[in-house]
Structure 1
Amino acid sequence: MSIHVVMGYGPAGAATAQLLVEKGHTVKVVTRTGRSPEDGIEHVACDAADAEGLKEAVRGAEVIHQCAAPPYQRWGRDWPGLVASVCAAAEDSGAVLVMLGNLYGYGPVEGPLTEDLPLAATGVKGRVRAAGWEQAKKLHDAGRIRAVEVRASDFFGPRVTDGGHLAGRVLPRLLAAKAVSALGDPDAEHSWSYVPDVARAMVEVAGEERALGRAWHVPTSTARSAREMVERLTGHAGTEPVEVRKVPPFALVIGGLFSPVLRELKEVRHQFDRGFVMDASAYEAEFTVRPTPIDEQIGATVDWWRGRLERAAGK
């Protein structure tokens, strides 16, 4: 089978690497620090911004899955160099470049988000994400690389521990039957991209020549509010219903004085203050991946978090 290189080993990178192993591919994961070998996965230490080092790391690859990301507060400074390096490695190797994107590049939008919307973000994070794809698309159109972008909404599911949404700030509390806090309006409809579905889309488009040269939205379940998601999670967990509180804007301002990540959230508050619904019908009209049923998503997420918390407690 072919050689696939996965850049980054966060939730999406890890899920993509594991799925590729299951499909029988040779998998190499590139991270800044590397890791001990795993079954079917070779881990390589390489700074992705080091263009020459990355070219060597991906040599022989047929596909590069770009899932790496700088720390949230350093996106404006570090994204351009990361994208330039990855594009150079794709051009040098001839590998298909599958970029994991998000929805920041659209900026505030009224109505469902579709791939044909302009990348009109004015904030720093939105602009660097948009510019990254625009750079890859320009090289693709020039025939220098073969590239595609897969865009996801906020991650949900096993391995998702960071972030202030349905992750580390929420799951441990609701499993302990404690009140949780939601950014923005807890009753606003919101699209949550299930990480295993993100991986399935990343892998599927890599093998579809007709997918290249454009962006696609990850097949994602019906938009649901943070309150409804918490209710479903507690229902599966069998815990008492918990209160879902709205984080007041002034709390984010104060928290931002001490937390760089909270400070950066100001740019994307629009995603939680009102409906934020992603339309993936274009993808589903062309390819086979469909969203995992929501009850299965909820069950796998609760089970994963329960196991994590029990291991942490030494049980």
Structure 2
Amino acid sequence: MTFSEPRIALVLGANGGVGGETAAALVRRGWNVRALVRDPGRAERLAGVSYQAGDALDRAAVVAAAEGAAIIVHAVNPPGYRGWKQQVLPMLENTIAAARVSGARILLPGTIYNYDPAAQPAIDEATPQRAFTRKGEIRVEMEVRLEAAASEGKAGGVRSLILRAGDYFGPRSTANSWFASGLVKPGQPVKTILYPGDKAIGHAWAYLPDVGETFARLADREAELPAFARFHFEGLWDADGTAMVRAIARAAGLTRPDVRRLPWGLLPVAGLFNETMRELAEMRPFWRHPVRLENRRLVAFLGEEPRTPLDVAVRATMAGLDVPVADTAPRLSRAA
């Protein structure tokens, strides 16, 4: 696909997993990508991306960085789940203000936190949102505000696109991800796999490079979308919670992996002194009940959903986290 004029994308959160992979995918597809980061000197330098100093909480900085942009990727979140109540909605409002001035479409990574896992095992774009956690309520409010901004009218409406996915993992996984903060330990060999889920419960995983590529393909065709659009990304569905564990074991060269359950009962106690632990404790229902995303609308629009094989994705993720991987995959015992 060729375009007569350079297309400019502004990425907020380029140092994170979704933002970084989306920026890289947009560069591959011919976009001119700007990244607004607090400290350009400490940012990971992605090829083809220009970096500007600024904070997503500074409206003037976001508006200035978005000048001439066709899309704004809003992939910024407070680290470690800290400060969501104080920061998440103001950051989104700054992005909406910037899009209103530049005419850009906002691209927002969505989550399953908007739903009740005990009552909604399968969700599509029309499923009613029933958040029961603090983060979920904020996430619902983000989408409400984007939909309201899109309906402001032809002259002042702000177009947006939400791509909802499961738990992220990938070479650029951050400390916010379950993969990098639980299943493996960055920079260390795999000795114990700490799995958060209950036995025989399915779980949705989203490989970050696949999510970034999906965002980039949607961005190429954003003019074909309605002012407010939602798509669901199915990702890698682990039907009983064992596929991810076995893939990690194969990548680490373990024939009999030591798999342990996350001690959920300790998190509320730790949460009395640590905000991150308190927020993580709210997520337990998403590991006790399956929540599968239906991607029929996405496949109908794009023709396919980008999908990297699980073993390839896990090995790349571990390598990106400096977790040693084996030269060859072992044959696991039946007890694994």
The answer (yes or no) to whether the contact 2:24–2:46 under 8 Å persists in 1 is: no
Alignment match, 2:151: 141
The TM-score normalised by the length of structure 1 is: 0.90
1:223 Cα deviation from its structure 2 partner: 2.9
The answer (yes or no) to whether the contact 1:219–1:284 under 8 Å persists in 2 is: no
Instruction: Name the amino acid aligned to 1:4.
Output: A
Of 5, 8, 15, which residue of structure 1 is paired with 2:10?
A: 5
Q: Could you list the per-position Cα deviations for residues 207-230 of structure 1 after superposition, in whole angstroms to 9, with x for gaps in the alignment?
A: 323334121112412334443212
Alignment match, 2:313: 297
Assess, with a 3 A threshold, how the Cα gap between structure 1 residues 164 and 240 changes in structure 2: closer, same or farther.
farther
Runs (4+) off by over 6 Å: none
Of 278, 288, 292, which residue of structure 2 is paired with 1:273?
A: 288
How many angstroms apart in 2 are the aligned matches of 1:6 and 1:97? 10
The answer (yes or no) to whether the contact 2:167–2:177 under 8 Å persists in 1 is: no
SS in structure 1 at match of 2:293: coil
1:66 Cα deviation from its structure 2 partner: 0.9
* Corresponding position: 1:106 with 2:115: yes
RMSD of the TM alignment (CA)?
2.3
Residues 113-124 of structure 1 mapped to structure 2, 5 A cutoff: 113-124=123-134
1:176 Cα deviation from its structure 2 partner: 2.8
The answer (yes or no) to whether the contact 1:5–1:65 under 8 Å persists in 2 is: yes
Assess, with a 3 A threshold, how the Cα gap between structure 1 residues 265 and 38 changes in structure 2: closer, same or farther.
closer
How many angstroms apart in 1 are the aligned matches of 2:30 and 2:124? 33
Segment of structure 1 superposing worse, 116-125 or 81-90? 116-125
Alignment match, 1:29: 35
Alignment match, 1:196: 209
* Greater fraction helix: 1
How many angstroms apart in 1 are the aligned matches of 2:236 and 2:225? 21
Residues 188-227 of structure 1 mapped to structure 2, 5 A cutoff: 188-208=201-221, 209-212=223-226, 213-227=228-242
Matched residues, percent identical?
28
Q: Could you list the per-position Cα deviations for residues 85-119 of structure 1 after superposition, in whole angstroms to 9, with x for gaps in the alignment?
A: 10010010001111112111123333212121112
SS in structure 2 at match of 1:191: strand
Instruction: Name the amino acid aligned to 1:222.
Output: W
How many angstroms apart in 2 are the aligned matches of 1:164 and 1:142? 35
Instruction: Name the amino acid aligned to 1:210.
Output: E
Segment of structure 1 superposing worse, 32-41 or 122-131? 32-41
How many angstroms apart in 2 are the aligned matches of 1:241 and 1:80? 45
Alignment match, 1:16: 22
Instruction: Name the amino acid aligned to 2:225.
Output: A
The TM-score normalised by the length of structure 2 is: 0.84
How many angstroms apart in 2 are the aligned matches of 1:116 and 1:187? 27
SS in structure 1 at match of 2:178: coil
